[in-house]
Amino acid sequence: MSNPYQAFNLDSKLLALAEFSKETRRHLHQIPELSGAETKTSAYCSELMEQAGYQLTRYDDCTGFVASLEINPQWDWIAFRADMDALEMDDLTNNEFSSKHPGCAHNCGHDTHMSIALTAAKYMAANTAELKHNVRFVFQMAEEDMRVPGANKMVELGCMDNISEVYALHNDAALEYGTVKFNNGIMSSYGSAWTLNVHGVSAHGSTPQKGLDAIREASRIIMDMDYVVAKRTNPFSPAVFGCGMFNGGSIPNAIPDHASARGTIRAMDSETDAILKDSFNMFVKESEIRGFNTTMDCVGYPAVINHPEAYQRLLTVAEGIVPSDRLQANGLPMSGSEDFSLMVNAAKDAKGAMFFLGSGNSAKGISNYLHANPYFIDDDFMLIGAQIFIKLASS
Ligand SMILES: [Zn+2]
Ligand SMILES: [Zn+2]
């Protein structure tokens, strides 16, 4: 079999952990858990981190935990984030390490993020003489579901206390394995999840004048938001308003007294983010003037902004590991969002950076988008991620 790392500059001591990285990933892939409920996952990872020699900080009311390795009290602390949750879908990969939890699958590849962290952590603990920082790994719950506390909760609990710089990666099976993609500056969108509830007044369908039609009102608000995207935001500033769920009414011949909808808001700058949210709140208030009892709840997080110094550090490290044709250091930000932004913002001087790491392999026919089902990856890519983390900690 050809050597998948021929074009990459990986340490031989790390290559010896190839089996470890695959075994851990395959184990984690079989026990995917939903946001906030990552108990087996957290137990498995924390045990391995403890075995490797890390000091654990666990919390009573969440599955996230922190693993620290202090080598020299005078040194700065560097942190790496690994997210642990999976998605509410069946695993259609159909192989020997497919999900054993029906209706739950690692289709965002967070199993690989944990394995990369576990592998890098194991290497670092065994080779402390190479390190130049004290090291912390943050195993974070609930990245996927904005409604479940994730990075915000971990930051609140102190996961970023004393951290001078923080890094995270996300796999991307639409990119060839080992491709490192990141930007200086904005990396991901300002993202929010919203829930709209409209209560009107029911009446017979033949006498609309006696009721208040909640479906029509909710639709009107959603359509008005499309107008905001088209007419109130700067055409040079991307904006997304999406409604992915809509429910209302119970029988066909009555005026519906309730409608609910859920969706997403994305923007690439804080000003556009504010225009979208303020407009939405204004429409909700106007709805009340029309007699409806309307509420809207919107939760989200800011964009990941790669700090110029962290970007430069990452670039230098990546240049030493991956061939130049696998380096995309000035791409477009993704329209998706990431609560890792809250960790970056909580680090000293907001020094942090995130990058995508290709996990596809066209020669093996592996190329799919995040959240696709089935979601395949070429797990050879993981050692490249581990090597980048190791070099960041040792430079
Ligand atoms: Zn995802
Ligand atoms: Zn993800």
Q: How far is the CA of 337 from the centre of ligand 1 (A)?
A: 9
CB 317 within 8 A of CB 392: yes
* CA angle (63, 169, 91) in 5-degree steps: 65
Q: How far is the CA of 225 from the centre of ligand 1 (A)?
A: 25
Strand partners, 105: 87
Taking a 5 Å cut-off on Cβ, the residues next to ion ligand 1 are 108
CB 259 within 8 A of CB 214: yes
Strands 258-267 and 239-248: antiparallel
CB 374 within 8 A of CB 92: yes
Q: Give the number of the ligand closest to the Cα of residue 83.
A: 2
The owner of tokens 């957290």 is 42
Compute the distance between CA of residue 388 and CA of residue 116 in angstroms, rounded to an integer.
10
CATH superfamily of 12-188+305-393: Zn peptidases (3.40.630.10)
374: cis peptide before it, omega within 30°?
yes
CB 166 within 8 A of CB 66: no
Q: Give the number of the ligand closest to the Cα of residue 88.
A: 1
Compute the distance between CA of residue 40 and CA of residue 114 in angstroms, rounded to an integer.
13
The owner of tokens 């008005």 is 224
Cα atoms in the Cβ-side hemisphere of radius 13 Å centred on 92: 7
Q: How far is the CA of 196 from the centre of ligand 1 (A)?
A: 23
3-state secondary structure of 222: helix
Residue 171: which H helix or E strand, with range? Answer: strand 163-176
Note the helical H segments in 174-331: 214-231, 270-289, 308-319
Q: Give the number of the ligand closest to the Cα of residue 84.
A: 2
3-state secondary structure of 83: strand
Q: How far is the CA of 135 from the centre of ligand 2 (A)?
A: 23
CATH number of 190-301: 3.30.70.360
Q: How far is the CA of 178 from the centre of ligand 1 (A)?
A: 19
Considering only CA atoms, which of 60, 81, 235 is closest in space to residue 143?
A: 81
CB 139 within 8 A of CB 44: no
Q: How far is the CA of 372 from the centre of ligand 1 (A)?
A: 10
Compute the distance between CA of residue 89 and CA of residue 101 in angstroms, rounded to an integer.
10
Q: How far is the CA of 33 from the centre of ligand 1 (A)?
A: 13
Q: How far is the CA of 243 from the centre of ligand 2 (A)?
A: 21
For residue 310, give Cα distances in angstroms to 67, 165, 351. Answer: 22, 7, 6
User: What residues have CB less than 8 Å from 251, skipping those under 6 apart?
Assistant: none
Q: What are phi and psi of 244, to 5 degrees?
A: -110, -10
Considering only CA atoms, which of 240, 239, 203, 196 is closest in space to residue 219?
A: 196
Q: How many CB atoms lie within 10 A of CB 366?
A: 19
- Confidence at residue 148, expressed as pLDDT on a 0 to 100 scale: 87
State both tokens at 228: 């905001």
Mean pLDDT, contiguous 10-residue spans, the chain (395 residues): 88 97 98 98 98 97 97 97 97 95 97 98 98 98 91 96 98 96 95 97 97 98 98 96 97 98 96 98 98 96 96 98 95 89 97 97 95 95 98 98
3-state secondary structure of 93: coil
Q: How far is the CA of 188 from the centre of ligand 2 (A)?
A: 12
Strands 134-140 and 77-83: parallel
- Domain positions in the chain: 12-188+305-393, 190-301
Compute the distance between CA of residue 264 and CA of residue 250 in angstroms, rounded to an integer.
25
